[in-house]
Structure 1
Amino acid sequence: MKIKILLALIFVNLLQAQKFYFPQTTVTDSVILEKQMPGLALQVISSLQTKKNKPKNDVDFSDALFRLQIVAKEYKKSINTLSEYRNQYADHHMADYKFIGYELYSMAKMDATEKKTSFPNALREAFNKKYGSIPEKQIPRIGLAVDGDVNEARKLLTKTLAKQKGKDSIDYRAALALCKSYLNAITYSAIKPQVTQLVTVKDQEKFIAETKDLKTKNGNTLTITIVRKKENKSPLPVILTSNIYAGPFDEFFGKRAAVYNYVGAVVNTRGKRNSPDENNPFEHEAQDIYEVIDWVSKQPWSNGKVGMIGGSYLGFSQWAAVKKLHAALKTIVPQVAVGIGIDYPAQNNIFMSYMLQWIQYVTNNKLTDEADFSNFAKWDSINTAWYKSGKSFRSLDTISGKPSKIFQRWLDHPGYDSYWQKMVPYKEEFSRINIPVLTTTGYYDDDQIGALYYFKKHHQYNKNADHYLVIGPYNHGGAQSFGFTYVNGNPIDPAARISIDDLAFSWFDYILKGGKKPDILKDKINFQVMNTNTWKHVPTLDKMHTSTLKFYLQDRKNSSSVFNKPQNKSFTTQTVDFKNRSEKDLYYRVSKKDSIKTTHSVYFESEVLDKDMIISGNLSGVFNVSINKKDFDTDTYLYQIQPDGQSFLLSTHIVRASYSKNNEVRQLLAPGKLEQIPINNSIFMSKKIEKGSRLLLVVGVNKNPAWQINYGTGKDVSDETIQDSGEPLQIKWYNDSYVEIPVYKD
């Protein structure tokens, strides 16, 4: 009796501390682990539904719940939860393939028990049933969805369990993480070999796929994958993708084109897959793609018309392809296109640490090094080690343990010089691009600046450019697939939840098959106004707003409004010590649950807005400053402080001051002299700002492990070290500086 009371007290104490009983023997005994996990998952489910732990939005809640239900062996419930999760999408068919691996596992486990059949038999039946229910347009995604990395899943589970060594209890967050890692390990270990084979059989029934090597005129080798739907016997237009991410996506892109009734062709860049050539990202696409287009346009399954599609690097590839335009190329659909030398590997002339992680991702092997790229802890530690060491940015590859010629070569070109210019159209070359173009990007897209650079330059140099833009609340992935229900934790309007795939292939039907123009393309610029559930359509980017509002860098306590030009000139002084690598972060407290980081920054707060306002477009303006050095990197953020006390990031801007007037030629600042830094190439956003909100403008200096550190000596920033830091940077931000906010009114 005493033992029962003692155990009861232990469980009460664990519950009060948000901890669960979890014997330490589970760490080393897989049999005990298998017995303990269902009970642990049930306890986590109970905690997940409490006010303290319930996620802020329904999508995150459903995502966690269906996983926990599978671990708890509540298979029927998990399938229902997953169905409800998918129905939260405006068009839930866009998500039918999502998490299909877990669904197949649940279906098979449930059927194996109910029908008293073997798991492999139940899995085969579950797969055939699910495959038959999925819309044809989503079938190409099935292979990707079930391609879980079994070895990595097992490693993560082992790592997660190791944290419990010597413990007899586990807290809520650790338990949730353990349940998720356990689920990945058991699911993909159980289904992957068989489901991969089942997908292959289905693909062979539906598609004709072939992979071959092409020899270019200068002797290089490129691997190309061609996919056709078996039922299509006549020659068709070819949808070509140039893909550096060799691997499963090659067949996916090919099959995607095929199910929309085109021939899909996917060529890998030099050095990838079967190519013995050197892999130098970005450098040869303009030359190679011309020959690929020439080849595919002359094949018996081609009707001579070629279109191109793809996102990110694959978007860049299309702009490389039109530098020398082939007659067979009739249209391109660049999505979230990398602006090489514009927003990657440097954004507004500031190199990013991420570039090294990406270089190794695409050059470590003939496919992609997923394990290394996804090892975020490793890369965080490398970037942090570099930051704390005070060594030059050029030493980052050495610190990583793998010197990189590509990394060093990129650093040799801090301005937008001929090295970058030769990769894509430059100036007047845009005037010769007379084929229709459809660009898609998003307010949350990492390559928005690049995507819009091409759009702006095309229209600048070709006044008759047949070039359309669709931009909405999409991130880098969404703007090349479909509108997610939530982006960055925020719900997006139902009107924005469109299929980008459907839009792209409707465009191809329009251009290549004489079909109907997509309904959304009512003008050259088509943008979704967040928080209004509406789309707007205007002829030029500057028509996204009808007026502007100048936000001056002044304390509103000394003025009736930050939006009024100050009567008396003054300045706010900021000091940044580049030698200090251990300072504590500073925050602007928005509410009890929200804060904004203001380290190395100063901030200015507006009065409460007395009416709704639509901010639409991107920030412009000018900073009037004087500094005690020859250069620095600015960092700007505009936030909405919502009436509910939550912050919302509206736009950002960074730039190297010495390149702010001309990204090709460096113009150093004169210490102690008043200088002007124009604000260009900031992030576009369109959103209704509710009455009762405030705007918070945060301006400062870019100093963190994610970017180069500009010490202000005027030397090549990549070569500067902490020994060059000298005295702390002192900035005078004059109050007649302003950020010009674009405002839209009907």
Structure 2
Amino acid sequence: MKIKILLALILVNLMQAQKFSFPKNAVTDSTILEKQMPLLASKLMTQPQFLKLKNSNRLAYLDNLLRLQMVAKDYKKSITTLSDYRNEFAAHNMAGNKFIAYEFYSMAKLMEAKEKLTFPVALQKAFNKKYESLPDKLITKVGIAVDGDVNGSRKLLKETLEKQKDKDSIDYGAALALCKSYLNYKSFSGIKPQIVHLVELKDQEKFITETKDLKTKNGNTLTITIVRKKENTAPLPVILTNNIYAGPIDALFGKRAAVYNYVGAVVNTRGKRNSNDENNPFEHESQDIYEVIDWVSKQPWSNGKVGMIGGSYLGFSQWAAVKKLHPALKTIVPQVAVGVGIDYPAQNNIFMSYMLQWINYVTNNKLTDEADFNNAKKWDSINTAWYKGGKSFRALDTISGKPNKIFQRWLDHPGYDEYWQKMVPYKEDFANINIPILTTTGYYDDDQIGALSYFKAHHQYNKNANHYLVMGPYDHGGAQSFGFTYVNGNPIDPAARISIDDLAFSWFDYILKNGKKPDLLKDRINFQVMNTNTWKHVPTLEKMHTSTMKFYLQDHKNTPSVFNQPTQKNFIKQTVDFKNRDQKETYHAVSKIDSVKTTNSVYFESEVLSKDLIISGNLAGFFNVSINKKDFDTDTYLYQVNPEGKTFLLSTHIVRASYAKNNAVRQLLEPGKTEQIPIKNSIFISKKIEKGSKLILLVGVNKNPNWQINYGTGKDVSDETIKDASEPLEIKWYNDSYVEIPIYQE
């Protein structure tokens, strides 16, 4: 009985420890708020819930500690914590990381107190001290790093405080969120205008920056920004970027090329900046870039050689540029390149809800609509309203309150038809691309499928393609900047923490200035094997693996091994009701500490692996299925469960069954007939899987607000509604289906 009472008291104390006194009038009185915030931050740093992070998640611990120390006005410690963070987690001491604004603020506050200065004077001294310590390659990123959204942070702080209205206490989670939003507003509003001005003054000392409007032969206007180092007076090769994301990033890209001793030229697409032309993303790049290259190659500051660089849409632009190759274009470095019509706005022929959000982002104004794009609550509610309401996917723009002809035009082309094909090289076009190319992508890159589609087609149609690939544990941002220490919450090997910028400009030196070939490029394919701290180098994508093993749709509990072909043909039946929009998420415990989401999926688990193996490449194989409809969208996930019981997502695959054999021509399934669906264009990865792990395979049906919903009638999926759902989809997954897993052995 005494033990029970003691435990109850401990529980009460713990619950009380999670509540902090916070006066009601702090919400409306800024003077009281200023006094309360340091006290609140100091309390948070002593809480067991916070201190527990020190061992369980050191990245989050140092991130939060830095912020709380600043709110508590312990600026000396915050600078030390920032140094610890960078030493332990940052791949490089990048000026462009999210914390340099905090560093300026902390340094200025220390100088303000120590030297009895006004804050603006202290901030200028802090800026000069930090700026002078940075190498040229990092100073280009300072302006972007301090360009925080002051209005957005003010709004978020107001919303966070509003939640405390009429309350005299605050819980741990709300208190931490309040400290973060308070710090963001306090620091960015305190330093942004002055630092931006100081960066401009420094740029004027170092660079010559010009902005011009170019007129194309068709009468269109394109705005171009040219950046040169003042000390470079002789003509140089030009590094060109085609940028739809007009804004401060233009100057950043220009300065980046300039500090590597090139001329940086950044041209905006039609309809951006000073252009009054219609903005139709993807449609005019091939034509416009040819004329831009022609112009820049003939300028007095150009030596006639042009290279191109950029990621995502900017990567796509380079492939558009080589559809009609200009003689002055000597090389391209497409990074995480969008495979237009292949992985965006539809991935393997399934349109994504995100496409409407992105279209608005780049077309709402002459720059980018950051406020609208970053309004996650708005877009989640739009996608949820569409999903819950059961209207056609084509109605998504109307539901958003703003009909969009670009969105509708894209939906009119669900197959990889001439509309998409004319934007970039197609089939035999690749045979004419004889300039050297360096592609970068990552295992976590949203446009990996697109980036690799160009690489594969180039080598398929041009047997002498001088085209290199670098691929590692990078996300969409990392594969066009530098290898972050943590990706998706997981640490990456030290060998992978490379500067993609340095690699790209070493490549430009090699091609455009007769320099040395980058050491990393030992063969056509250069990939980092996660969990081994090594890079591998092979001549083709197929050589990334030396063998394969087939994971059949069966469970190890019913068979000696899921990797052996079943002795008897059988099937598992799955039922998916598309009319049910209030479906609860389901999960399957894979260990005592972790689980995977299994909603609309069938679960298969392998036996425990008796030895280490390296999975390297992408999933292949076939699904043998029969369904009661004419079409459906498959959704596949492969996980590792490591010996400690933690899950790791290895690869995914999503495809519209009717386009699985040919992404240009729809071939509907015959209800009740066994059909074979090939697995192509899945996600590449290379990772060592430890002995004692097991593999989890989930196969199922796509049904969520992030993608179109395929009701299986055979009509244009964009026009189907919940009224087309009729009876639930029934799938027979036959056990002779298999996912082929690529294995690498020395």
Aligned partners of 1:558, 1:210: CA distance in 2, in Å? 70
Q: Which amino acid aligns with 2:281?
A: P
Aligned partners of 1:90, 1:458: CA distance in 2, in Å? 35
| Cα displacement (A) at 1:13 | 5.2
Establish whether residue 547 from structure 1 lines up as the match of residue 560 from structure 2: no
Q: Which residue does the alignment assign to 1:454?
A: 454
| Cα displacement (A) at 1:55 | 7.5
Establish whether residue 356 from structure 1 lines up as the match of residue 364 from structure 2: no
Distance 1:690 1:301, change over 3 A: same
Aligned partners of 1:593, 1:340: CA distance in 2, in Å? 40
Distance 1:387 1:20, change over 3 A: same
Q: Which residue does the alignment assign to 2:659?
A: 659
| Cα displacement (A) at 1:57 | 3.1
After TM superposition, list the pairs within 5 Å mapping 1:192-341 onto structure 2: 192-341=192-341
Distance 1:222 1:48, change over 3 A: farther
| Cα displacement (A) at 1:616 | 0.2
Aligned partners of 2:644, 2:496: CA distance in 1, in Å? 24
Q: Which amino acid aligns with 1:734?
A: Y
Q: Which residue does the alignment assign to 1:428?
A: 428
| Cα displacement (A) at 1:21 | 1.0
- The answer to whether the 8 Å contact 2:472/2:528 transfers is yes
Q: CA RMSD in A?
A: 1.3
| Cα displacement (A) at 1:59 | 2.2
Aligned partners of 1:74, 1:636: CA distance in 2, in Å? 49
Q: Which amino acid aligns with 1:301?
A: W
After TM superposition, list the pairs within 5 Å mapping 1:115-126 onto structure 2: 115-126=115-126
What do residues 380-412 of structure 1 show as CA deviations (whole Å, max 9, x unaligned)?
A: 111000000000000000001111000000000
Q: Which amino acid aligns with 2:640?
A: Q
Paired positions, count: 737
Establish whether residue 585 from structure 1 lines up as the match of residue 593 from structure 2: no
Aligned partners of 2:56, 2:664: CA distance in 1, in Å? 45
Q: Which residue does the alignment assign to 2:136?
A: 136
- The answer to whether the 8 Å contact 2:91/2:484 transfers is no
Q: Which amino acid aligns with 2:320?
A: A
Deviates more, 1:324-333 or 1:130-139: 130-139
Establish whether residue 650 from structure 1 lines up as the match of residue 650 from structure 2: yes
Deviates more, 1:249-258 or 1:84-93: 84-93
Q: Which residue does the alignment assign to 2:183?
A: 183
Aligned partners of 1:454, 1:21: CA distance in 2, in Å? 59
3-state SS of paired residue (1:419): helix
| Cα displacement (A) at 1:16 | 3.2
Aligned partners of 1:709, 1:23: CA distance in 2, in Å? 49
3-state SS of paired residue (1:718): helix
Aligned partners of 2:612, 2:53: CA distance in 1, in Å? 33
Q: Which residue does the alignment assign to 1:347?
A: 347
In the alignment, structure 1 segments of 5+ residues that lack a partner are 1-8
Aligned partners of 2:71, 2:55: CA distance in 1, in Å? 19
Aligned partners of 2:351, 2:359: CA distance in 1, in Å? 13
Q: Which residue does the alignment assign to 1:598?
A: 598
Aligned partners of 2:343, 2:113: CA distance in 1, in Å? 54
| Cα displacement (A) at 1:438 | 0.2
After TM superposition, list the pairs within 5 Å mapping 1:34-45 onto structure 2: 34-45=34-45
Establish whether residue 385 from structure 1 lines up as the match of residue 414 from structure 2: no
Q: Which amino acid aligns with 1:118?
A: T
Aligned partners of 1:718, 1:149: CA distance in 2, in Å? 36
- The answer to whether the 8 Å contact 2:53/2:61 transfers is no
What do residues 647-693 of structure 1 show as CA deviations (whole Å, max 9, x unaligned)?
A: 00000000000000000000000000000000000000000000000
| Cα displacement (A) at 1:472 | 0.2
- The answer to whether the 8 Å contact 1:86/1:95 transfers is no
| Cα displacement (A) at 1:555 | 2.2
What do residues 609-631 of structure 1 show as CA deviations (whole Å, max 9, x unaligned)?
A: 00001000000000000000000
Distance 1:683 1:55, change over 3 A: farther
**TM-score using structure 1 length:** 0.97
3-state SS of paired residue (1:622): strand
Aligned partners of 2:160, 2:170: CA distance in 1, in Å? 11
Aligned partners of 1:48, 1:238: CA distance in 2, in Å? 55
- The answer to whether the 8 Å contact 1:227/1:251 transfers is yes
What do residues 193-228 of structure 1 show as CA deviations (whole Å, max 9, x unaligned)?
A: 111110000000000001010000000000000000
Q: Which amino acid aligns with 1:195?
A: I
Q: Which residue does the alignment assign to 2:708?
A: 708
Q: Which amino acid aligns with 1:738?
A: Y
| Cα displacement (A) at 1:593 | 3.9
Q: Which residue does the alignment assign to 1:19?
A: 19
Q: Which residue does the alignment assign to 1:684?
A: 684
3-state SS of paired residue (1:173): helix
- The answer to whether the 8 Å contact 1:435/1:466 transfers is yes
What do residues 106-129 of structure 1 show as CA deviations (whole Å, max 9, x unaligned)?
A: 111111001111111100000000
What do residues 446-473 of structure 1 show as CA deviations (whole Å, max 9, x unaligned)?
A: 0000000000000000000000000000
Aligned partners of 1:164, 1:613: CA distance in 2, in Å? 53
- The answer to whether the 8 Å contact 1:14/1:20 transfers is no
Aligned partners of 2:47, 2:481: CA distance in 1, in Å? 34
Q: Which residue does the alignment assign to 1:6?
A: none
In the alignment, structure 2 segments of 5+ residues that lack a partner are 1-8
Q: Which amino acid aligns with 2:550?
A: K
What do residues 259-300 of structure 1 show as CA deviations (whole Å, max 9, x unaligned)?
A: 000000000000001000000000000000000000000000
| Cα displacement (A) at 1:192 | 1.0
Q: Which residue does the alignment assign to 1:4?
A: none
- The answer to whether the 8 Å contact 2:254/2:264 transfers is yes
Q: Which residue does the alignment assign to 2:556?
A: 556
Distance 1:451 1:172, change over 3 A: same
Aligned partners of 2:723, 2:55: CA distance in 1, in Å? 46
| Cα displacement (A) at 1:557 | 2.2
Aligned partners of 1:724, 1:97: CA distance in 2, in Å? 49
Aligned partners of 2:169, 2:280: CA distance in 1, in Å? 51
What do residues 557-589 of structure 1 show as CA deviations (whole Å, max 9, x unaligned)?
A: 221100000000000000000000001111011
- The answer to whether the 8 Å contact 2:96/2:145 transfers is no
3-state SS of paired residue (1:654): strand
Q: Which amino acid aligns with 1:736?
A: D
Q: Which amino acid aligns with 2:38?
A: P
After TM superposition, list the pairs within 5 Å mapping 1:4-153 onto structure 2: 16-47=16-47, 50=50, 52-54=52-54, 56-89=56-89, 91-94=91-94, 97-153=97-153
After TM superposition, list the pairs within 5 Å mapping 1:497-576 onto structure 2: 497-576=497-576
Q: Which residue does the alignment assign to 1:163?
A: 163
3-state SS of paired residue (2:419): helix
Aligned partners of 2:63, 2:557: CA distance in 1, in Å? 46
- The answer to whether the 8 Å contact 1:90/1:494 transfers is no
What do residues 308-343 of structure 1 show as CA deviations (whole Å, max 9, x unaligned)?
A: 000000000000000000000000000000000000
Q: Which residue does the alignment assign to 1:736?
A: 736
Distance 1:630 1:462, change over 3 A: same
Aligned partners of 2:86, 2:20: CA distance in 1, in Å? 31
- The answer to whether the 8 Å contact 1:496/1:528 transfers is yes
Aligned partners of 1:718, 1:26: CA distance in 2, in Å? 50
- The answer to whether the 8 Å contact 2:207/2:227 transfers is yes
| Cα displacement (A) at 1:170 | 1.1
Q: Which amino acid aligns with 2:189?
A: S
| Cα displacement (A) at 1:93 | 2.6
Aligned partners of 2:596, 2:97: CA distance in 1, in Å? 37
- The answer to whether the 8 Å contact 1:531/1:688 transfers is yes
Establish whether residue 416 from structure 1 lines up as the match of residue 416 from structure 2: yes
| Cα displacement (A) at 1:60 | 2.1
**% identical aligned pairs:** 79
Q: Which residue does the alignment assign to 2:6?
A: none
| Cα displacement (A) at 1:91 | 4.7
Q: Which residue does the alignment assign to 1:442?
A: 442
Q: Which residue does the alignment assign to 2:693?
A: 693
After TM superposition, list the pairs within 5 Å mapping 1:613-652 onto structure 2: 613-652=613-652
Aligned partners of 2:441, 2:79: CA distance in 1, in Å? 33
Distance 1:521 1:139, change over 3 A: same
| Cα displacement (A) at 1:95 | 5.4
**TM-score using structure 2 length:** 0.97
| Cα displacement (A) at 1:23 | 1.1
